[in-house]
Amino acid sequence: MENDAILLQQFHQPETREAAFTAIMHKYQERLYWHIRRMVVNHEDADDLLQNVFIKVWNHLDDFKENAQLYTWLYRIATNECLTFLEQQKKRAAVSLSDVATGLEDKLKADTQYDPQKLEWKLQQAILQLPEKQRLVFNLRYYDEMPYEEMSQVLGTSEGALKASYHHAAKKIEAYIKANV
């Protein structure tokens, strides 16, 4: 894996721009994909959003401040894309009188691998009961193993608030799993 600083230098050179961008995509695509996928559940939605994220990265990477970490910047863009998408879903649900959380749960159950007896699926169901921000915090901490300091840069929230949010999320998940054993 090439260093981000080198990739950024190459991106700024017209002759190596495309190659550097491809390398950045290869480096981060899976992490970003799963971050998005856990938020929107469905592969098609995750794929659309991930492509949008990379298109935005291509368009704005020249403006990227190199004193920040590329990795947290990418997560920030991906997170914003997810939240915008979920907000749009909420508006559509309000019009059609359905519920977004239920919609995500339906998508989860529609997965061909879905097995309600397996703990990993039960855990996903529990996570889907959380408010969006708590869901984000839990996923970033639990699955992406992101330190609070970096999470704070991604979400623009204080570390204390993030710790409290993670604490609440873990307690709610525990309660949900106990109730649905």
Partner 1 sequence: MPETEKIRAELERLVPGASWPRTYPEGKVPEGYFGTLPGRVLDAVASLEDHAREASWGKTNPYTVPAGYFDRLPGIIAKKVTPAHPVMMLPRQRRLSRWSSWAAAAVITVLIALSGLLWFSRPPSHSTGPSFDQQIASLSSEAIEQYLNTSTSALNTDELLNTLNDDNLDDASSRQLSGQDLEKFLSEEIPDSLY
Residues that bind partner 1 (CB under 8 A): 18, 21-22, 25-26, 29-30, 33-34, 37-38, 43, 47, 50-51, 54-55, 58, 111-114, 118-121, 123-124, 141-143, 145-147, 166-167, 170-171, 173-174, 177
Helix then strand then coil, % of the chain, to nearest 5: 80, 0, 20
Dist CA 156 CA 52 (whole Å): 21
State in angstroms the smallest separation of the CB of 162 from partner 1: 12
Dist CA 31 CA 27 (whole Å): 9
Q: Is the distance from CB of 135 to CB of 107 less than 8 angstroms?
A: no
State in angstroms the smallest separation of the CB of 124 from partner 1: 6
| Cβ distance to partner 1 smaller for residue 74 or 173 | 173
Q: How many CA within 13 A on the CB side of residue 104?
A: 26
| Cβ distance to partner 1 smaller for residue 69 or 87 | 69
State in angstroms the smallest separation of the CB of 51 from partner 1: 6
**CA angle 144–82–94, rounded 5-degree value:** 135
| Cβ distance to partner 1 smaller for residue 46 or 100 | 46
State in angstroms the smallest separation of the CB of 97 from partner 1: 28
What DSSP letter does each residue of 107-142 carry, written as one string? HHHHSTT--TTSHHHHHHHHHHTS-HHHHHHHHHHH
State in angstroms the smallest separation of the CB of 142 from partner 1: 7
| Cβ distance to partner 1 smaller for residue 68 or 119 | 119
| Cβ distance to partner 1 smaller for residue 51 or 69 | 51
